[in-house]
Amino acid sequence: MTGLGYTFPAMAAVAVVCAAELTVLRTGLFRRPAYWAAIVIVLAFQIPVDGWLTKLSAPVVLYSRKSMTGLRFPWDIPVEDFFYGFALVTAALLLWEYQGRRTGRTAGGLQ
């Protein structure tokens, strides 16, 4: 069952969020350079913080080895954390944009 506890849900979250955008929400977010700039900004903060929290030499956050792939990059960050972070941030931005469009207001987000 290696990977089913964190890897599978994290990857499934990415698939669900991408499928929701491509089939239901259709905000066009993935085509906007500002979205990808936002993802880079998120990574710029996620990498040092997550690296510090999950470093193998003195971890603050511990993961069960049975629930992950064991792949860590960079600085001992579990790759599953990047999938989860992408899905979380993207879902929030997609729902923000979708709600703004539904209510007729400018979402004030990524133009």
pLDDT per position as a tens digit, 63-72: 888 888 889 9
pLDDT at residue 1 in the model? 47
Separation CA 16–CA 14 (nearest Å):
6
Helix (H, G, I), strand (E, B) or coil at 78: strand
pLDDT per position as a tens digit, 9-36: 999 999 999 999 999 999 999 999 999 9
pTM: 0.84
